[in-house]
Structure 1
Amino acid sequence: MFSSDSRRDFLKKSMVMGSGIGILGGVPMQAIEEMTKPKNKLPAWKGFNLLDFFSDHPDRGRPTKPEYIQWIADWGFDFVRIPISYPSYLSIDRSRAIRPDEVLNFDEARLEKVDELVERCHNHGLHVSLNLHRAPGFCINAGFVEPFNLWKDQEALDAFCAHWEMWAKRYRGISKKKLSFDLVNEPFQREDPNDQHSPGGPVNVEDYHRVAEAALVTIKSVKESRLVIADGNGGGGIAVPELGDLDLAQSCRGYHPFPISHYKASWVYKDPENIPPVNWPLNQGDKVWAIDSIREYYAPWKALIEQGIGVHCGECGGYNKTPHDVFLSWFADVLTVLGENKIGFGIWEFSGAFGVLNSGREDVEYEDWYGEKLDRKFLELLRSQI
């Protein structure tokens, strides 16, 4: 009889014998290696962002039609991310900048609108990731006048935690299989917060750790099992191993390289119409981007997975000015690399400039889908990953 230790040694030796083929059940060594690779702790959810509450003003959101959620589920997707601007659910005077004494003026009627969307998604079997796109003291988009700085001011952090405490209590009874919290969208520091084209970069990691830990503790004090996600630094693209001591998953982005994903985007480039043409692979000067460049870009995220940290791609896709054939070729490679690492994704929007519906691309032969303009090629590319 084998002891447990000797049996384990025997099996290990057996698996490496004979021209790369293990004798254990005739399983190829490559398959064994695949089985022993570190697993992504997060499910590879696949779906879309829904922008109902993306605007500060509750009447200027982009309401998700009931049939959209039905179609998302029918097409085999299982995930939605809901990026929220926190003033959208407050009772405030919107004709001026928000004041510190107003940031907790929760409006129950507006909160119920969020509840309704979450419930509709859950009724169709979709996992919902709730995200503060604009949080007290921070938004990556320029032009918002905040009364304090989330990364530096305790008053802002207290308000940030109060918002997450409210959401945690509101959804206490919902399982982590159905709901996760994405703390704050794309941490970033801009030299001029009122200029979208102003240079900037990652938030100080110690500041990010302090803010994330405080919010995490707040959420976990309400429901210990709640799944909490932190976005990558520097606009979402930089993995943050410094958060590895916290019970947090992390969210990357699928916008690399930016000259492809945001080709001629007016909020990125001061003179978008004079941007030179792009192709894929992308050759710009001495730099050539191809699928191996994408693998290199995601290497730090792969390292997080190997450390036991769950990773999901909360936002990805391409703007409608990118030539369609270039976009599809590039994004197929992005999806390939995400798939290699078992990382799921959320396309930035379902209907709109980044979406599968009504994208406004001028070089697409759309399919009429119940009165909507469907980019069938894009949809089938996404469905090929399910």
Structure 2
Amino acid sequence: MSQILNPRRDFLKKATTASVALSLNQTSFSTITKKKKNKLPKWRGFNLLDFFNPVPENGRKTKPEYFKYMSDWGFDFVRIPISYPSYLDFDRSKPIRPDEVMQFDNKILDEIDQIIDHSHNQNLHVSLNLHRAPGFCINAGFKEPYNLWEDEEALDAFCAHWEMWSKRYKNISSKKLSFDLVNEPYKRLDPNDQHSPGGPVPINEYRKVAEAALKTIKGINKKRLVIADGNGGGGIAIPEFADLDLNQSCRGYFPMHISHHKASWAFKDPESLPTPSWPGLHNDRYFGKEDLEKHYAPWLALLDQGVGVHCGELGCYNKTPHEVFLAWFGDILEILDDNEIGFGLWEFSGTFGVLNSGRTDIAYEDWYGEKLDRKLLNLLMKNA
């Protein structure tokens, strides 16, 4: 989930158009619901945001008991989106310099080890993701010293970080740990300006970055399972990568007027937005399950090409009416489930989570002092 304003909204319009066009070219509508073999396991679980913030103490700490809850409820997956500055030792009162991006903080790295250990102790597969990589993040709020898509120095640092992670976890099986290269590739005219115009990363630029990191990782452990996020912010499948030893990760945020209703980081004037419905009209356009099927058709086409697909992020902000959310979300989960595609809810506890989401339109169940959204959990467990 990514905190950008107009560029994210513009991307979704472009991604929708691209998805529909690609679906018509590569996948007939009659085959959309046909079950295809997915080479990736159908992992289902949650994102954990402990190191999502560039400042590690500002992360949302995962309580040790949460891992047991996940396992007891039938889930087997956690994705850990990490901001690389969170595990560096540098002067945070100033913008980071290129010569500081390799100053690893062993204390923080040990804390990340602990999350992975807690996950593995509960038989949860871990997907380690660079949500902010040297030279790129889809989020604002931290000034990068260079551009991952254009600058060799940034690419060298990116590969060096993956070299560090690969060596650190060399002996952990891919059945227990996978790497997710970089969160939601997107290119802006000014990479440090969240309002700067942008769109999908040119394929040759994304491929150069992905291939370099893949070579680094496989050079240390050739069996490591590696995932590339969809282009243009995660929503556009990449058939151009089908020849690489890469799986791909989609998103479950379409259409955004449902998933991010009244989210201040997603819309300029969130309070002016009309109450959404599902299925239903939005800006004189009708949205329903058929639109979701068209949106995911390019991803299902990847399955036919032998590419593994997983939905690394999905969910809904707490301002969308709960019943609307569940109706829409049930359709997404059904499409994913029918095609053996697993998922990671954006968070376990928080505004998108099953615990402590802060909704005002539901009655929470007390769960050992936590506020549990039982209806959402039941829907997720149905697909776990």
Q: TM-score, normalised by structure 2?
A: 0.90
Gaps of 5+ in 2: 1-30
How far off is 1:278 after superposition? 0.5
Query: Matched residues in 1 for 2:211 and 2:151: separation?
Result: 15
Q: State whether residues 45 and 77 of structure 2, in contact with CA within 8 Å, keep that contact through their aligned partners in structure 1.
A: yes
Q: Secondary structure at the match of 1:56?
A: coil
Structure-1 residue corresponding to 2:370: 372
Structure-1 residue corresponding to 2:288: 290
Query: Matched residues in 2 for 1:38 and 1:259: separation?
Result: 29
Whether 1:86 and 2:64 are equivalent positions in the alignment is: no
Query: Matched residues in 2 for 1:266 and 1:324: separation?
Result: 18
Change (3 A) 1:362 1:199: farther
Structure-2 residue corresponding to 1:58: 56
Structure-1 residue corresponding to 2:242: 244
Query: Matched residues in 1 for 2:280 and 2:165: separation?
Result: 43
Give the AA of the match of 1:46: R
Comparing both chains, which one has the higher relative contact order based on Cα–Cα distances under 8 Å and sequence gaps of 6 or more? 2
Number of equivalent positions: 353
How far off is 1:153 after superposition? 0.3
Q: State whether residues 67 and 118 of structure 2, in contact with CA within 8 Å, keep that contact through their aligned partners in structure 1.
A: yes
How far off is 1:199 after superposition? 3.7
Instruction: Give the one of 141, 144, 147 matched to 1:143.
Output: 141
Whether 1:303 and 2:298 are equivalent positions in the alignment is: no
Q: Secondary structure at the match of 2:232?
A: coil
Q: Secondary structure at the match of 1:93?
A: coil
Query: Matched residues in 1 for 2:220 and 2:330: separation?
Result: 40
Gaps of 5+ in 1: 1-32
Q: State whether residues 135 and 154 of structure 2, in contact with CA within 8 Å, keep that contact through their aligned partners in structure 1.
A: yes
Q: State whether residues 197 and 268 of structure 1, in contact with CA within 8 Å, keep that contact through their aligned partners in structure 2.
A: no
Q: Secondary structure at the match of 2:231?
A: coil
How far off is 1:143 after superposition? 2.8
Q: Write the mapping of 1:204-243 to structure 2, written as runs, cut at 5 A.
A: 204-243=202-241
Query: Matched residues in 2 for 1:201 and 1:280: separation?
Result: 28
Query: Matched residues in 1 for 2:276 and 2:230: separation?
Result: 26
Query: Matched residues in 2 for 1:230 and 1:136: separation?
Result: 16
Q: Secondary structure at the match of 2:131?
A: strand
Structure-2 residue corresponding to 1:26: none
How far off is 1:200 after superposition? 2.1
Query: Matched residues in 1 for 2:279 and 2:366: separation?
Result: 31
Give the AA of the match of 1:47: G
Structure-2 residue corresponding to 1:267: 265
Query: Matched residues in 2 for 1:149 and 1:96: separation?
Result: 18
How far off is 1:377 after superposition? 0.2
Q: Write the mapping of 1:81-160 to structure 2, written as runs, cut at 5 A.
A: 81-160=79-158
- Cα deviation per residue 1:257-286 (whole Å; 9 max; x = unaligned)? 111001011001111111111100131244
Query: Matched residues in 1 for 2:354 and 2:177: separation?
Result: 24
How far off is 1:198 after superposition? 4.1
How far off is 1:197 after superposition? 4.3
Q: Secondary structure at the match of 2:325?
A: helix
- Cα deviation per residue 1:89-142 (whole Å; 9 max; x = unaligned)? 101111111000000001111100100110110000000000000000000002
Query: Matched residues in 2 for 1:224 and 1:57: separation?
Result: 33
Q: State whether residues 354 and 376 of structure 2, in contact with CA within 8 Å, keep that contact through their aligned partners in structure 1.
A: yes
Deviation larger for 282-291 or 232-241: 282-291
Q: State whether residues 197 and 270 of structure 1, in contact with CA within 8 Å, keep that contact through their aligned partners in structure 2.
A: no
Q: State whether residues 197 and 267 of structure 1, in contact with CA within 8 Å, keep that contact through their aligned partners in structure 2.
A: no
Query: Matched residues in 2 for 1:330 and 1:377: separation?
Result: 13
Deviation larger for 257-266 or 280-289: 280-289
Q: Secondary structure at the match of 1:115?
A: helix
Structure-1 residue corresponding to 2:319: 321
Q: Which has the larger radius of gyration?
A: 1
Q: State whether residues 144 and 193 of structure 1, in contact with CA within 8 Å, keep that contact through their aligned partners in structure 2.
A: no
Change (3 A) 1:196 1:272: farther
Query: Matched residues in 2 for 1:229 and 1:190: separation?
Result: 23
Q: TM-score, normalised by structure 1?
A: 0.89
How far off is 1:195 after superposition? 4.3
Runs ≥4 residues deviating over 3 A: 191-199
Query: Matched residues in 2 for 1:172 and 1:57: separation?
Result: 27
Query: Matched residues in 1 for 2:323 and 2:271: separation?
Result: 19
Q: Secondary structure at the match of 1:138?
A: coil
Aligned Cα root-mean-square deviation (Å): 1.4
Give the AA of the match of 2:278: W
Query: Matched residues in 2 for 1:276 and 1:199: separation?
Result: 26
Q: Secondary structure at the match of 2:233?
A: coil
Change (3 A) 1:37 1:257: closer
- Report percent identity of matched pairs: 67
Instruction: Give the one of 35, 47, 51 matched to 2:45.
Output: 47
Change (3 A) 1:325 1:199: farther
